Every structure is written in C-alpha cells, then in structure tokens.
Amino acid sequence: MEMTEMTGVSLKRGSVAVEDNDSVAPGEAKRQKVSECCPTKGQDGLENNSLPSSEKVPGPPKTAREGKKSSDPQLEEEEEEEEDGLSEEGEEEEEAESFANMMKHGLTELDVGITKFVSSHQGFSGILKERYSDFVVHEIGKDGRISHLSDLSVPVDEEDPSEDVFTVLTAEEKQRLEELQLFKNKETSVAIEVIEDTKEKRTVIHQAIKSLFPGLETKTEDREGKKYIVAYHAAGKKALANPRKHSWPKSRGSYCHFVLYKENKDTMDAINLLSKYLRVKPNIFSYMGTKDKRAITVQEIAVLKITAQRLAHLNKCLMNFKLGNFSYQKNPLKLGELQGNHFTVVLRNITGTDDQVEQAMNSLKEIGFINYYGMQRFGTTAVPTYQVGRAILQNSWAEVMDLILKPRSGAEKGYLVKCREEWAKTKDPAAALRKLPVKRCVEGQLLRGLSKYGLKNIVSAFGIIPRNNRLMYIHSYQSYVWNNMVSKRIEEYGLSPVPGDLVLKGAAAACIEEDDVNNYSIHDVVMPLPGFDVIYPQHKISEAYREMLTADNLDIDNMRHKIRDYSLSGAYRKIIIRPQNVSWEVVTYDDPKIPLFNTDVDNLEGKPPPVFASAEGRYRALKMDFSLPPSTYATMAIREVLKMDTSIKNQTQLNTTWLR
C-alpha cells in the first residue's frame, strides 16, 4: 500500500491525546481557593499518579500554586515534587528547546510499527493546542446515552440532615475528629463542647460527626454542668471501609450515581481525591471506564451509601471538578459496561484547504482509520515499555531490573536521573532509593522490593509493583507485535478481506473461506494479540507473527509463563475502526486563546457560545466530533486526518517554540 506524504502537527509539550477511555488532551487548570468546608489537609489535592515514571509525559510549565501548603508531611512531599517542574514564563522558550533535545531520544511511530494510512488524501498540519477546552471526552453508557453534566441540584430527600452539618464543626474540631477516625493518635474519643446548648444544636453535631466521619459513633455527656458530644470508634479499624448500615434509608437505592466532570486528573487520581475529602475508602466507588489526565472528561461514577447532599457539597471545595446529575440506584457500575466515548477535538491553525479537509473527514467517516495502539502505550523515554514486557516474557529478570533502573536519555525529572546514576554506580537499592523524594513511582517500588528481597530475588522485588502496572509492560509488548503485524497485513493485502483473514463469530474467531470472502468487509477483520488462547490468520501473516516472536526468543506455541500473572491468553482486535457520529466544521478566529466551543460547565454557567470571526479571520481551525468504541485511540483518528506522526519526538522537532 502506497504511503501518502506525512505532514506535521504542532503540539505543545505533553499534549498527546490518548485512548478513548484514557483520552488525553493538554490543558490549563483553572485555579480557585479551597473552601473551609473541606479537610484542612491536601488543600488542592495535587498528587503524583502511580503510573511508571517512564509513562509520564512531562506536563506544561506550571504557575505557582495558590494558597498555603498542606500541613500533611506526605502531601507536602508530593507538592514539592510537583513544584520541581515550576517554570517562570520567561524560561518557557528555553525549556521548550531543552525538552525537544531530550525527546530526540524518544520513540517515533516507525519504532512501534505504526506505518500505514487507509486514505489517499493529501495531509495537512494543525495544532492540537495545549488547552483543555480543545479536547473533551464524554463517556457513552451501555444504553448508548452520552454522559453530560447538566444538573447540579440535589434530589429532595427528607432523610438528609440539614445543611448545618457542614458548618457546625470548627476546622480544629474536624482535624481532631479526622485524627481519631484514622487512628492517627492515641485518643480513644474526642469530646466537643456544645456552645449555646439546645436539643437541635446537639442533633446537628451528632449528624455532622456520623455523616462526615464514617466509623465514628457519638453520645451526649454532662461534664461539670456543660454538655459535650463525645465521638468514639464504633467497630474498630474496619469501620472506615464500611459505611454505617443503619443510617441509610431502606427505601433508597444503596448507590448514589453521579456525573463527574474533571480537568487534568485521571480517573483513579480523581477517586482517590474524592475519597480523601469524604473520608472513605476508594473501593466504595465504581465506574465503567478510566479516563486519562490531560483532557476535560465527563463520566458516570457510583458510590456506596454516600448521599448526593455530601457529594454536591464537594463542588464548593474542589477545583477542576464538578459533580452533578445525582440519582440513587440499586447497583454499582461495572468496568467495561460502556459503549465507548464521544470526542470533541479542535485542531487549530490548520493549513489544509477546504477541499482537503472535506476529503480527510469524509474518509474518516466512511472508511475509518487503522486501529493502532497509540504512542502513549509505549512510554516516552529511550527505554520503551514493550522492551521491559519482552524481557518479562523471556524470564530475563536481570534485564527487567536493568531496563527499569539504568540511566537513560530522555525527558525525566532531576531526582530520577540522580537515582539512576546512583544505581549504576553502586547497585545499592537503598542508596538509590534515598535519591527519590517520592517512592511511589515504579523505580521507587522496585528499589524498595530489591532492598527487601535482595538482588538475587528480582521476581519477588518486581512483584511489589502494583499488578496493573506490571501487566502494563507485557500488554505493551503485545501491542507492539500487533501494530507491526497489522502494518504487514495492510501492506500485503490492502483494504479488502482475503481468504485466511480472521473474523469474529460470537466471542470466537474463525478464518474466512475463499467462497465466503464477499460476505465480509475490511471492518469485520480482526487480528490477534499473541497468546495461548488465540488462532492466527491462515496466510503469510501467520508466519510473520512466528518470525517476530522467534526473533524475540519467544515461542508462539507456548505463551504460558511459569508465573501465572505473566501468561498471555491473547485477544482479538479489529484492524479498521469506523468512528460513529462524525461531524466537523472549519471555523475562523482572530484570538488564539479563546475557546472554540462551550464545555458542560460553560453551559451550566450560562456562557454564550463563542462568536467566530468572518471568513477573513487570521486563523482557521477544524472542529471534529466523533464517537469511538472502548480501547481505541483518538490520536490514531487524528493521525489519519492530518497524515502526521503523533510521537512527541516528531512533534517537538516540528515545533520547539510553542504557541500560546
């Protein structure tokens, strides 16, 4: 298949858009002060996520954080880590050049098998600018309904306590109660004096403690003529994990479902933050899909036995979050139940003519794009995640350790560079660990494991890393193989089904017979991710799979690993995806900083939609809307439209002085 000319896209640093469930777009966080209603700790909730550092794309230069630092030493440590990346505006251009130099060592699409296009139109360039408002993701539920934040009201419920529960306790009393609840001191109870004693006032204090601090019970005591409300633990340390059963009305569904609108937080970070403010365990939340950090995303969340009233109160406390569309339901949400996600994407300053744009978008609508795994699947540094995955599958544990910990070229924070240098020099895990201010990155977790189990038990040391992060490496290798094989399949056979291709019949795959070819289209064809429970196409590509795995010292006929977690069963993935609900328009504008469409929050606040310049505007932008199924990458759809290399390495070479 002939390759069309590849043109460029200019993106700001760290502005890669990702997977439909993990879609990323760059952005600017709105700042706001945290209300007194919130816990005194972790004021703005900034936390480093737990992905491997090699997966983290360095973010945009940040402005100094408003407000005081947290009183929590651990959170202070996290905040200091965030502040390592602070930069004065005057240094932005220099920093951009430095970042571009570091990314010379990063991956290109060619490195991970992304080489083909399906369309014949001429490519053009555009800017996916580093604004949240240029990349918005709305979850599509199992009923096909697109999630929107459209209502902030709380369902009327006579069982809810009065709003006074949020203000009756002082900050100092909340602090003492939280320390009691979390067993942070030796006290067995906390006594709160009732000022201006009335029965109504005592009732509100009882309600406030029980609803805001799950696991605590209360009683009223007389002490020297004064009334006190005494809080104490009801059921030991397990109380925090289990909301109080007797306080929940039987007529009300056990789960409060709500729509979460968030900016610049991935789903797990968002849930961890919500659980911190609600003082509950994160495992009482459920959701259908995870959404990555660099975007405005809108999705449904469910939480066990937390009232809509308490959740709505967080809207006064949290920045870059809004919760709404509350309802009570009998059941939680289940991972994977979503139909997909709907994207609204703006590509600014496009160079393509109206005819080029029409050709590109019509091709996306009618044919689609190759369902490659996007660049973010493979990491951003000189050591791709698929190499670690390959070493795990080869049982080469010394190589796994070396790949994760060795010094590398590329974009990394200074303390990680020092940690790697220490490791290379001493091979002393404790000494290298001391170079890390925050230990939760993969490097820190592995070093902690090596300190505990020793250098001769790397398997157990590696096992300290959370399971999902460990599996990410081998899934990255599967994705690497799949991308390369799909490129070979399209080069060999083009965009029509051929005998020997695979199609799904129910959950199983079957080969297309010669006399059956005309009953299928390219949109039916799937290809396997390698594993012990899949079949391979019955044509040349089957041998290509075998050759690739053999070259990597792996046996395609034995994909079971002696450690069960690392045994690959395999899966099937469609090779071409045709987006649904595709629409687009080209708009002209003069101010490069203005949003080009309203978000859900803009609409709730009554902001008028943007007014565009006349046809003579200084800039042109392509606004795209489309829906994708789960586990497909929006960047690959954008790549097909622009005919660009979506790697950060290529983007930084194209544009090292980013526009504002």
Closest CA to 46 of 75, 73, 22: 75
Cα 267 from Cα 302, distance rounded (Å) = 13
CB burial of 65-80 (b: ≥16 within 10 Å; e: otherwise) equals eeeeebeeeebeebbe
Strand partners, 62: 86
Closest CA to 576 of 376, 377, 364, 344: 364
Cα 483 from Cα 637, distance rounded (Å) = 15
SS3 assignment, position 350: coil
Neighbouring C-alpha atoms within 13 Å toward the C-beta of 625: 8
Measured between alpha carbons, how far is residue 633 from residues 31, 122, 185, 341, 374 in Å? 30, 22, 48, 10, 6
Cα 137 from Cα 160, distance rounded (Å) = 33
Look at the alpha carbons of 88, 43, 41, 75 in this order and tell me if their dihedral is positive or negative.
Answer: negative
- What's the 3-state SS for 260-322? EEEECCCHHHHHHHHHHHHCCCHHHEEECCCCCCCCEEEEEEEEECCCHHHHHHHHHCCCCEE
What is the phi-psi region of residue 455: left when phi exceeds 0, alpha when psi lies from -120 to 50, beta otherwise?
A: alpha
- Tell me the two tokens of residue 499: 């005998």
Q: What is the DSSP string of 35-95?
A: PTTS-SSSTT------S-GGGPPP-PPBPPPPSPPPS-HHHHHHHHHHHTTB--GGGHHHH
Look at the alpha carbons of 136, 13, 382, 548 in this order and tell me if their dihedral is positive or negative.
Answer: positive
Measured between alpha carbons, how far is residue 423 from residues 115, 165, 444, 657 in Å? 37, 52, 12, 35
CB burial of 20-57 (b: ≥16 within 10 Å; e: otherwise) equals bbbbbbbbbbeeeebeeebbbbbbbbbbbbbbbbbbbb
Cα 371 from Cα 538, distance rounded (Å) = 21
Cα 447 from Cα 319, distance rounded (Å) = 34
| 292 catalytic residue (yes or no) | yes
Give CA torsion, residues 283, 284, 285, 289, to 10 deg: 50
Q: Quick count: other Cβ atoms within 10 Å of Cβ 305?
A: 19
- Which of these is catalytic: 134, 269, 292, 501? 292
**Chain position carrying tokens 């005194």:** 40
Residue 527: CB partners within 8 Å, gap ≥ 6? 482, 485, 486, 489, 502, 537, 541, 572, 573, 575
* Residues marked as catalytic: 292
